[in-house]
Structure 1
């Protein structure tokens, strides 16, 4: 009776999903567990009733830039983790952390094991200025610095000297403003965030009092959003010091701009032109370049004029690019991107797709959803052949076992998550991150 009942349930499940045999169960692999990967997984599971989605992550922990890139004082942005956790709880989803694609497992092994592979491993390499002095001590990338104060294991031992008064930040995007704000925010405020205790101690001893943001174009071209600007304008203990002559022309541009850009530049113009006497802790300056063109379409042209800024720490925040994980992929070394058409990787017959971070998380969500729909559409039209069975995680786990690699499950991550939250609660903060991989693994397997 019990055996018959169990078989009946299995048959019903297959009828509901429209699957006649295991040969028609699509096996999909996603490389990377950040927002792009999770939103892609969410869409695939929602749109296809039978697809099995396995997600691989280099670190033992999920969530990528949400955990290690979002500013610690922006906890509301991390709420998407709740949605990702719901996705991870689904029967047809498996998380495999602590697996390095390209080292522990090759891309060709993934191609063999899965019907479709989605590359969502992000942009882990910095864009360089390629100028003299870029490799000097205390000249760092903003990506490394953000990883440092967010507890990213690879940046935990970053050599940062905060025994300086002036910091220069090259770039005018949200990351540049986030870095400036974290360095200038009173530690009494930061200690209520998930910044690790050892980093808080370093920040508490910081002598930083003056911050200069440098951009290659004019203020109308800034890449940060109004939220970040408003936070800087209202930051406790700081006051923005903008060169008035660089902002006078904005009021002629503002009336004809789209509403979001209009609101941003209205606040920027007000800050630059109506600010009181500048006894300041922060400064935003334009670069010594000539601008050619009209309005928002201007481009920067190098001139012979130079200006010297005395800075004890310089942070480069000019964007990131991806890294190559396999020579068979059409990777452009100059741009750090994988050649693709609508997410379908060139030369891979639709079996390999890519997606990644696009600006703010909302944009990344849209990109991930689009990629998920493409995967499902290709399976439904036959562009991705799912008639032949693929072994999926079974083959990969066998290969990992031969190398002695222990993949971390989502349940094991929850064990570490509970440890971090409980430790943080004792300190009056959301969590106390573990930033050492060996320590992570010890907690996971205890």
Structure 2
């Protein structure tokens, strides 16, 4: 292993974004380099510098997923083990395009990999979308995950709420809106402001609207199982939605994940029937004080308002064929609600100096192979620039999808580096401390892995005071103080 103070001869790679995509890619790059480097003529040594605009790493795992996902802790632990590697250097609190430029990086690194995530919602293009009480999922997720620059309070005074979306984010949002605050606090790292907010949540009735049918939803089985175990919540499902024709059942059976999802939904339908038969109870048989309606084949068409505020949502009944094509029926129903949350997709971040494909919502790259191009619809491949994760493919796929992405992009990077002069050592400035001097000159104080560990230790100690494993720090200034404390 190359000594971190003597790595002028190794390859130098910059990765923008320290979420799962960036960390997995860094790990896979080092592994593939050791395995294939000699054969490719690029050697087996590299230094990877990982730049993250937030004061802490892990991106989507820490700030984009509901806090009650049990698998998140394991993913975060695995990412942390990867970062605890002398060949990977963490630079948190350093923003690309503001603190460092593309020219800065190309001067000092042989290749630059963009692993930036998503920062905002796709717009809800419905009449009434601008009414007070209509919220994008991304901002709500930022609030309950304690995002450093997110809202610190959230209006949870609506008694009847609608959530629009047929994917995992919609499920997360709906679940948190139906959550028991004490149960959530006991199981997760939520900060005090989120606990107080959910404790005061007035929502007693939630409607989840999914435009297509049972067999076309995009839920993971894990999400469905988490929905099944909400204290005090009765699930209510329209049995007509489950009358699937033979062609639809056959089509759903061709894909293992779809088949498992449909089977779980049928189990939920039976659970919902039992909840009703037993006198409107929750999953444990206790009286339910909240009702969670799941509507398939239901396409919202308009948010209705009064005095500038949400008062109802108009929904059109749809029909979905075995081919997944949705048809509208012209049958409308208005549901009284005072808040509407839309989880219809994220819009991955742009990067200064990099072309963006607006239609597919990702950085422009050649045929999806991760090589950055000059134009969204093709153009020339730009040397030494790559994208992975959502930056490459748009806001689709689970966290695990980033691993297969990373292997493909790393393979392409190594192939390109092997064809370059000097065994891929292209960057003119090969001093590993050059980036530190540059940031210091600009008054930028990065938070390194040791700094992150100090934040993490504090969060664990604060959690322990309340009998919890972890309690999240949300103030960026407090994070910086903790990280830079000697």
- Normalization by structure 2: what TM-score? 0.81
Distance apart, 1:33 and its partner CA? 0.4
Hey, what does 2:157 align to over in structure 1? 163
Q: Contact 2:109 / 2:426 at 8 angstroms: preserved in 1?
A: no
Give the counterpart of 1:153 among 148, 152, 155: 148
Give the counterpart of 2:202 among 185, 200, 207: 207
SS of match in other structure, 1:60: coil
Q: In 1, Cα distance between the equivalents of 2:245 and 2:439?
A: 58
Q: Contact 1:43 / 1:373 at 8 angstroms: preserved in 2?
A: no
Bigger drift between 111-120 and 356-365 goes to 356-365
Hey, what does 1:411 align to over in structure 2? 450
State yes or no: 1:356 paired with 2:382: no
Q: In 1, Cα distance between the equivalents of 2:381 and 2:146?
A: 36
Give the counterpart of 1:58 among 53, 56, 68: 53
Hey, what does 2:169 align to over in structure 1? 175
Q: Contact 1:23 / 1:389 at 8 angstroms: preserved in 2?
A: no
SS of match in other structure, 1:84: helix
Distance apart, 1:408 and its partner CA? 0.9
Q: In 1, Cα distance between the equivalents of 2:260 and 2:87?
A: 44
SS of match in other structure, 2:452: helix
Hey, what does 2:181 align to over in structure 1? 187
Distance 1:388 1:283, change over 3 A: closer
Distance apart, 1:219 and its partner CA? 2.0
Q: In 2, Cα distance between the equivalents of 1:348 and 1:398?
A: 31
Q: Contact 2:7 / 2:46 at 8 angstroms: preserved in 1?
A: no
Q: Could you list the runs of 5+ residues in structure 1 that have no partner in the other structure? A: 1-12
State yes or no: 1:130 paired with 2:125: yes
Mapping for residues 10-409 of structure 1, pairs under 5 Å = 24-48=9-33, 49-157=44-152, 160-192=154-186, 193-249=188-244, 253-255=248-250, 257=253, 258-272=255-269, 275-276=273-274, 277=276, 279=280, 281-285=291-295, 286-287=298-299, 288-291=316-319, 294-295=321-322, 297-301=323-327, 304-326=330-352, 328-341=353-366, 342-346=369-373, 347-357=380-390, 358-382=396-420, 385-386=424-425, 389-391=428-430, 394-409=433-448
Q: Could you list the runs of 5+ residues in structure 2 that have no partner in the other structure? A: 34-43, 281-289, 300-315, 374-379, 391-395
Query: Larger relative CO (CA 8 A, sep 6+): 1 or 2?
Result: 1
Q: Relative to total residues, which structure has the larger strand share, 1 or 2?
A: 2
- Normalization by structure 1: what TM-score? 0.88
CA RMSD of aligned residues (A): 2.5
Distance 1:396 1:387, change over 3 A: closer
Q: Contact 1:153 / 1:436 at 8 angstroms: preserved in 2?
A: yes
How many residue pairs match? The answer is 425
Q: In 1, Cα distance between the equivalents of 2:131 and 2:418?
A: 54
